């Protein structure tokens, strides 16, 4: 097993992390903006909505330090840190993070957990702090340029299936096994690209589980999990 060239792909919110970054930072610092997100989801493209929420929070005086502190204290299971660290130490696994959150949120949290060196690539929406302390967030796919061609229902900001295929193209030869850890409906598109020798680690709550039940069509093995300790166990017993 250990001679296999193996790739583990991680969704971030509710998959690697035990919370949703986009909602959590407002739950901690500006619950009225958290309510606004709840009331407007589906009416505005999600990345654009979070960019607006960040501008509103900045206008109300929420600081960079407050946002970063919320991220560093966000629930993140120690078993997930252990599972990733031990599997990486076994030597034959590449880790790729593919997320609809943003580069700043993921960077702050992975630094806090000591996981930055484990990840070969992080593909997500670009964000950066401006000098005033505003976090400026943009879509991965620029709305003014060519759009992705996804027919599976990925959000306009990114098609995770296309991003997964692009990762494979950048990192030839073909991986012997791909393991994808996800929970959301936008993880269904990349899951459809997995082969019979691959594995989907699907969290039991969330849109991915529902789409698999309703739409089917997956070629890979599906392993369901609820707590991060189960992911650690699969990494140890099946992937090492
Ligand atoms: Mg997720
Ligand atoms: Zn897609």
Report yes or no: 18 and 228 within 8 Å, Cβ to Cβ.
yes
What spatial distance separates the first Cα and last Cα of the chain, rounded to whole Å?
Answer: 7
Does a structural domain hold residue 233?
A: yes
**Same-domain status, 145 and 27:** no
- Which residues touch 39 (CB under 8 Å, ≥6 apart)? none
Print the domain residue range for 63.
23-72
**Same-domain status, 106 and 210:** yes
Q: What is the pLDDT of residue 170?
A: 98
Cα-to-centroid distance, 217 and ligand 2 (Å) = 15
pLDDT digits (tens, 9 = 90+) for 65-103: 999 999 999 999 999 999 999 999 999 999 999 999 999
Q: What is the pLDDT of residue 183?
A: 98
Does a structural domain hold residue 132?
A: no
As annotated, the binding site for Mg(2+) includes 11, 13, 183
**Same-domain status, 10 and 116:** yes
User: What is the full DSSP assignment across 4-67?
Assistant: S-EEEEE-IIIIISSS-HHHHHHHHH-HHHHHHHHHHBTTB-HHHHHHHHHHHHHHTT--HHHH
User: 150 falls in which pLDDT band (50, 70, 90)?
Assistant: very high
**Same-domain status, 181 and 234:** yes
**Same-domain status, 80 and 58:** no
**Same-domain status, 168 and 185:** yes
- Provide the domain count of the chain: 2
**Same-domain status, 232 and 152:** yes
Report yes or no: 6 and 179 within 8 Å, Cβ to Cβ.
yes
**Same-domain status, 111 and 49:** no
Does a structural domain hold residue 131?
A: no
Q: Write the CATH number for 81.
A: 3.40.50.1000
Question: Which is the catalytic residue, given 11, 22, 187, 198?
Answer: 11
Q: Note if 11 is an active site residue.
A: yes
Cα-to-centroid distance, 149 and ligand 2 (Å) = 8
**Same-domain status, 43 and 144:** no
**Same-domain status, 58 and 103:** no
Ligand nearest to the Cα of 16, by number: 1
Does a structural domain hold residue 1?
A: no
Q: Note if 39 is an active site residue.
A: no
Residue 135 has pLDDT above 80, yes or no: yes
Does a structural domain hold residue 148?
A: yes
User: 107 falls in which pLDDT band (50, 70, 90)?
Assistant: very high
Average pLDDT, the chain: 97
Does a structural domain hold residue 134?
A: no
Determine the Cα angle at 215 with ends 199 and 237, to 5°: 15
Report yes or no: 51 and 96 within 8 Å, Cβ to Cβ.
no
pLDDT digits (tens, 9 = 90+) for 190-233: 999 999 999 999 999 999 999 999 999 999 999 999 999 999 99
Residue ranges near ligand 2 (ion) with Cβ within 5 Å:
150, 152, 154, 159, 161, 189
Looking at the chain, the whole-number percentage of residues with pLDDT higher than 90 is 98
User: 3 falls in which pLDDT band (50, 70, 90)?
Assistant: confident
């Amino acid at each position: 097993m250990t001679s296999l060239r193996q790739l583990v792909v991680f969704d971030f919110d509710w998959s690697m992390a035990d919370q949703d970054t986009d909602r959590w930072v407002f739950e901690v610092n500006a619950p009225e903006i958290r309510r606004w997100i709840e009331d407007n989801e589906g009416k505005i493209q999600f990345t654009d909505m979070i960019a607006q929420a960040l501008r509103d929070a900045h206008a109300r005086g929420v600081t960079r330090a407050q946002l970063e502190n919320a991220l560093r204290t966000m629930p993140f299971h120690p078993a997930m840190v252990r599972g990733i660290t031990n599997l990486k130490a076994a030597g034959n696994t590449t880790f790729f993070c593919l997320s609809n959150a943003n580069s700043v949120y993921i960077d702050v949290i992975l630094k806090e957990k000591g996981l930055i060196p484990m990840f070969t690539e992080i593909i997500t929406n670009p964000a950066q702090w401006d000098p005033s302390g505003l976090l400026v967030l943009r879509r991965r796919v620029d709305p003014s340029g060519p759009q992705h061609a996804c027919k599976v229902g990925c959000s306009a900001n990114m098609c995770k299936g296309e991003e997964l295929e692009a990762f494979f193209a950048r990192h030839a030869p073909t991986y012997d096994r791909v393991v994808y850890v996800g929970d959301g409906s936008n993880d269904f598109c990349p899951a459809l690209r997995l082969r019979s020798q691959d594995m989907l680690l699907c969290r039991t709550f969330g849109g991915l589980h529902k789409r698999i039940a309703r739409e089917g069509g997956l070629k890979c093995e599906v392993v369901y999990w609820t707590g991060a300790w189960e992911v650690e166990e699969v990494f140890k017993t099946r992937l090492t």
